[in-house]
């Protein structure tokens, strides 16, 4: 499966690279995420634990629900991004989050 997945991702990447202006909105989102990626990596475990073990069980959403992982992914990404975005305004934040 690896060669198939690799070739599909290569084709998609080349398509996006050749049509930069068509996909400029997506490239902006990816560049913003890339700017804070190390900080997002450092803090995402906190939000996975918080959302996955404290919030979702109270809402009656368990890992067997179809929406569990997509909602967890999106919410963790958004919360991590905005947390690191706010932390970046603190003095010496480059030492903490590496940006």
Looking at the structure, do residues 41 and 6 belong to the same domain, yes or no? no
Residue 63 is part of which domain span?
36-99
pLDDT at 9: 83
Looking at the structure, do residues 8 and 49 belong to the same domain, yes or no? no
Confirm whether pTM is higher than 0.85.
Answer: no
- Structural tokens at position 75: 């919410």
pLDDT at 20: 62
Looking at the structure, do residues 4 and 51 belong to the same domain, yes or no? no
Which residue shows structure tokens 């599909």?
8
Looking at the structure, do residues 43 and 74 belong to the same domain, yes or no? yes
- Among candidate residues 76, 78, 56, 77, the one with its CA nearest the CA of residue 67: 56
Averaged pLDDT for residues 54-68: 89
Provide the domain count of the chain.
2
Looking at the structure, do residues 17 and 40 belong to the same domain, yes or no? no
Looking at the structure, do residues 18 and 66 belong to the same domain, yes or no? no
**Model pLDDT for residues 19-32, shown as the tens digit of each residue:** 666 656 666 787 88
Looking at the structure, do residues 26 and 50 belong to the same domain, yes or no? no
């Amino acid at each position: 499966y690896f060669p198939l997945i690799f070739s599909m991702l290569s084709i998609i990447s080349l398509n996006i690279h050749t049509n930069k202006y068509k996909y400029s909105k997506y490239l902006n989102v990816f560049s913003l995420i890339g700017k804070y990626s190390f900080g997002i990596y450092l803090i995402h475990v906190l939000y996975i634990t918080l959302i996955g073990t404290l919030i979702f069980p109270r809402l009656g959403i368990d890992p067997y629900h179809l929406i569990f992982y997509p909602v967890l992914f999106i919410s963790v990404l958004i919360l991590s991004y905005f947390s690191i975005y706010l932390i970046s305004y603190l003095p010496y934040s480059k030492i903490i989050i590496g940006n």
